[in-house]
Structure 1
């Protein structure tokens, strides 16, 4: 038996799997986000632990015998969150989350002061990352910065509460901007740029390696026969890749969740900072990955559905199959954009609306706009030398056949749709826990069975290629107009 524990922004989820990775039980506990000022996003670190206690207590209530046999626990979590601990191992302030935008000034200052953030860190310095958050604390809360003994990412704070050990995995740690991503080690120069040292960082392990064991008092609480090992685990997207079997170079997935992700596994560190590609370590050894990230994927459709007072699924069902691009263009920048623009200020917009524009046309435009943004991501990954011909589709938006047909034809890749099931970060975390418990990853990270495969539609490819070129001209036009 193995547990996957996923620390999400809105909830903590635990799943219990048997040795064949069949689901035995699951539990979820909600979390809340605090926004004390515009652009800020914070969370109480101890709320993660309280939620973990809740879900593990629930598993014990549901299946105490099966829970007793757990051998491995894997962790996944939302990336970049800055959790600051004092000498007594207590949080000094709320965690500054991945979607907090307060550190834009510090990002510009750090890039100018230390060019190695782009070369060793392999990523643009963005407000979402951990390093600029610490620089903000250093400049604006100096008394807290002075008392900071340890900086942990969200899932690694949970690990500390489980095991009493400070440790972090390579994939999540790459998102701090303090890691020499190619060497898979902390960079003294990048840490020094924010007034920190290795002494403020946890020990690094691979995601499939053992980081520690569950403490004895917790073993007694949840009835474990022997102390389970706790794997290094992974950041949420790397863990999701482990869940869908995207661990071999060239494999990847497209995620249509609240945000959109185009994820491809690489056999080497492959940065493209000019186009805001995320280049990180993978959660499995000797492997890296690239990500293009758009901030509003299903969020865009949900926003439209809210304005039209309709369910998102009803809008896409009413649209049906499309014979070409929409006559209306939509830029899905509701909260700024990452790849390729790295622009927190840009906002969304429609172009080409007429008297004849109806709900279906607006829905079509939103689906196209998100697909065009994913095409931007693919172009950015391709510029770094990555070639993709197949992608597995995951996330709530992947339930729309029409959306996937648009994406397949625009990106000119085959989209694979798995059978219904949960292939998210919690599954990947459980698989990493199983690999750590067994001491081997052989046969652990298999791909899910497929429900269908969607090939590019030859009749759609030329029209969508032309529409994409027109759409690309809208971003600079919006910027010039002051949006």
Structure 2
């Protein structure tokens, strides 16, 4: 028998079929083959069709079973991971009223600022409500303000994963972790943030029913069963946004454990058990997938926009030099890149820099000494240093980092990058060969209270570790040079 894992991104759907007893991958695909389209009617807008998500899910699932040579009736549980912070609005009939406003849409920033101001800074701190900024709550308020006739027709608001769950089960629902990512969860009262919702007139009536993050959330309806071939009554057992789901996929579940990703942007997701945070602008706080009232588990997230995009820019600058070749060049250059330093903040405003848009900067360039190998190393070090700068911010908020886990599909494949972070933090970095779709599928075992088996499923994906070197003086010196340049640029901004 098998579990089906669904990972809805903004570029594609990843689907995984894993054995329910061992968690081993039977098959995995990405669908569609071309990137999903994102419409942008105005600058800084980003929308996708929820109905198209469902069409792609149906086609992708059918292809997955065809490739696997497994009848859909063998699926005994379904898990969902999904792109965070989006907004889907449904009418009385369960049809989308408009395209989804997705995570990278920034039209609602002013709405979010107004919501935060109406609640008051101290209230937000006391109830651990992040600055609403550009999250789901602010997008909902934007629709209310600028599309009032449409808002009046709304029956439910949902996150992207909630919509897929609705199409699978026919039951409108959401989760506590989903509400927390939308800035609609009150950490102090351990329930929906009703004050936030009341600040958006009409929003409280649109709240779907709450279902557990892990556990039966509904069953596949007869109409969904007909479309997918999966048996009616198959349970939906898990649902979480992409960052909590990525952490679960790496078995990052307890305080001190951190999941890190170095993709186009860099993400650090640190699990902790505290609600005593003062920093609500540069850090985001969500309920983790294993949170409950008696055993708090929060995920504190920081994001670095200028990460892999810098390395891609360098690759293009070097006529398409592969990342593998660039990594080899970087290893030829000593720590500190012989005085060359790069600030990788050229991908828009950075939340960890209090929404400043500093731009990318290269400093200390010497035409007689530095070549493209130095640029490769300085680029990787600049990214690694920006991660460490973020970890310093986490440490000030009392977040303890004991270990880091990452997938094998991002910048942590670079020895220079990974070793620099490990040496600065003096922690082990463990690398795993896994995906969010596989994690969502395996979460079904956790939902069935098979905790030991779930952990074993994850640990079988372990590849290697980067261990910290005790002698890290040169790394710290290079970081201080980089940080001095960063602070100078911040002061000048």
Same fold? TM cut 0.5: yes
- Which whole-Å CA distance do the structure 2 matches of 1:59 and 1:479 have between them? 49
Question: Are 1:216 and 2:222 matched, yes or no?
Answer: yes
Structure 2 residue 372 is matched with structure 1 residue 367: no
Distance 1:370 1:272 in 2: 26
Q: Which residue matches 1:205?
A: 211
The TM-score normalised by the length of structure 2 is: 0.90
Task: Indicate if the aligned counterparts of 1:71 and 1:227 stay in contact, CA closer than 8 A.
Answer: no
Matched residue, 1:387: 400
Aligned pairs (5 A) from 1:205-244: 205-225=211-231, 227-244=233-250
Task: Describe the superposition over 1:75-98 as per-residue Cα deviations: whole angstroms up to 9, x where unpaired.
Answer: 010100011222222222221111
On the 8 A contact 1:117/1:125 being kept in 2, the answer is: no
**Relative to structure 1, is the Cα distance of residues 463 and 124 closer, same or farther in structure 2, using a 3 angstrom cutoff?**
farther
Are 2:400 and 1:398 equivalent residues in the alignment? no
Query: Residue 288 of structure 2 aligns with which residue?
Result: 282
Deviates more, 1:155-164 or 1:280-289: 280-289
Q: What is the CA distance between 1:144 and its match in structure 2? A: 2.3
* Aligned-partner Cα distance in 2 for 1:478–1:165: 51
Q: Contact 1:123–1:177 (CA<8 Å) still a contact in 2? A: yes
1:48 alignment partner in structure 2? 53
Kept in 1, the 8 Å contact 2:381–2:416? The answer is: no
Asked if 1 retains the 8 angstrom alpha-carbon contact of 2:130 and 2:281, the reply is: no
Aligned residues: 476
Residues 74 and 434 of structure 1 are in contact (CA less than 8 Å); yes or no, is this contact kept in structure 2?
Answer: no
Instruction: Determine if the alignment matches structure 1 residue 329 to structure 2 residue 338.
Output: no
1:29 is the counterpart of 2:40: no
Q: Distance in 2 between matches of 1:69 and 1:260?
A: 37
Residues 339 and 376 of structure 1 are in contact (CA less than 8 Å); yes or no, is this contact kept in structure 2? no
Map of 1:153 onto structure 2: 159
Cα separation, partners in 2 of 1:90 and 1:120, compared to 1, 3 Å: same
Distance 2:129 2:38 in 1: 29
Secondary structure of 1:59's aligned partner: helix
Inter-partner Cα distance in structure 2 for 1:231 and 1:184: 22
Q: 210-219 or 99-108: which moved more? A: 99-108
Distance (whole Å) between structure 2 residues aligned to residue 214 and residue 274 of structure 1: 38
Show CA shifts across 1:154-187 (max 9, x none). Answer: 1111111111111222223211011113544211
| 1:194 corresponds to | 200
Q: Secondary structure at the match of 2:459?
A: coil
**Secondary structure at the counterpart of residue 152 of structure 2:** helix
**For each residue in 1:315-358, what CA deviation from the matched residue of structure 2 results, as whole angstroms up to 9, or x when unmatched?**
11222255311222222222235452241634222222231332
Provide the secondary structure at the position in 1 that maps to 2:183: coil
Unaligned regions of 5+ residues in structure 1, if any?
none
Q: Distance in 2 between matches of 1:379 and 1:244?
A: 23
Q: Which residue of 1 aligns with 2:262?
A: 256
Alignment match, 2:324: 313
Q: TM-score, normalised on structure 1?
A: 0.92
User: Partner residue of 2:426?
Assistant: 412
Aligned to 1:98: 103
Question: How many Å separate the matches in 1 of 2:218 and 2:276?
Answer: 31
Per mean C-alpha deviation after superposition, the further-off stretch among 470-479 and 56-65 is: 470-479
TM-aligned CA deviation for residue 413 of structure 1: 1.7
Aligned to 1:7: 8
Q: Which residue of 1 aligns with 2:480?
A: 469
Aligned in 2, Cα 1:121/1:133: closer, same or farther, shift over 3 Å? farther
- Counterpart of 2:366 (choices 343, 354, 367) is 354
Tell me how far 1:393 sits from its aligned partner.
2.5
SS of the residue aligned with 2:201? Answer: coil
| CA deviations over 1:207-246 (Å, ceiling 9, x no partner) | 2111100111322343334521012411111111111111
Tell me if structure 1 keeps the 8 A contact 2:128–2:275. Answer: no
Q: Residues 389, 48 of structure 1: CA spacing in aligned structure 2 closer, same or farther, 3 A cutoff?
A: same
- RMSD over aligned CA atoms reads 2.2
Gaps of 5+ in 2: none
Q: Secondary structure at the match of 1:340?
A: helix
Asked if residue 298 in structure 1 is aligned to residue 308 in structure 2, the reply is yes
In 2, are the aligned partners of 1:272 and 1:380 still within 8 Å (CA)? no
CA contact (8 A) 2:45 2:106 kept: yes
Q: Look up the SS of the partner of 1:136 in the other structure.
A: helix
Change (3 A) 1:186 1:409: same
1:77–1:236 Cα contact (<8 Å) kept: yes
Partners of 1:435 and 1:442 in 2: CA distance: 9
Equivalent residue for 1:170, pick from 168, 172, 176: 176
The 3 A distance-change label for structure 1 pair 159 and 220 is: same
